[in-house]
Amino acid sequence: DTAVSQTPKYLVTQMGNDKSIKCEQNLGHDTMYWYKQDSKKFLKIMFSYNNKELIINETVPNRFSPKSPDKAHLNLHINSLELGDSAVYFCASSPSGGYTEAFFGQGTRLTVV
């Protein structure tokens, strides 16, 4: 069973489109995250949710809107996609906000053309 699963794994889309990336964890964790890995392979946090509540929004453009319908899901919706949004997006979860190991999804490679 996959602990943290993201879909899709690859996403190619045109500029201006709206797209969503889904993330689900079956570990019973309270905290979920979205990270962006840029072309230089540098990981940076975008959002953190704890018990469905937004905890961190790291100066991410308003075009990015996370949605957490329940503790097990944290989806990322992106409006009006731009070329600079091309990156790998990772979802992760942890039991209590970082005091134990985090589990990562396999990543979604988004390419905006």
Partner 1 sequence: KNEVEQSPQNLTAQEGEFITINCSYSVGISALHWLQQHPGGGIVSLFMLSSGKKKHGRLIATINIQEKHSSLHITASHPRDSAVYICAAFTSGTYKYIFGTGTRLKVLA
**Chain positions contacting partner 1, by CB under 8 A:** 31, 33, 35, 40-45, 48, 50, 55-56, 58, 88, 90, 92, 97-104, 106-107, 109
User: Bridge-partner residues for 4, per DSSP?
Assistant: 25
Nearer Cβ to partner 1, position 1 or 14? 1
Nearer Cβ to partner 1, position 16 or 90? 90
Least CB distance to partner 1 at residue 49 (A): 8
Write out the two tokens for 97. 């906000």
Least CB distance to partner 1 at residue 107 (A): 5
What is the secondary structure of 10-45 as a DSSP string?
A: EEEE-TT--EEEEEEE-S--SEEEEEEE-TT--EEE
Nearer Cβ to partner 1, position 48 or 68? 48
> Based on the number of CB atoms within 10 Å of its own CB, is 66 exposed (0-12), middle (13-18) or buried (19 or more)?
buried
Question: How distant is the alpha carbon of residue 87 from its chain centre?
Answer: 11
Least CB distance to partner 1 at residue 103 (A): 6
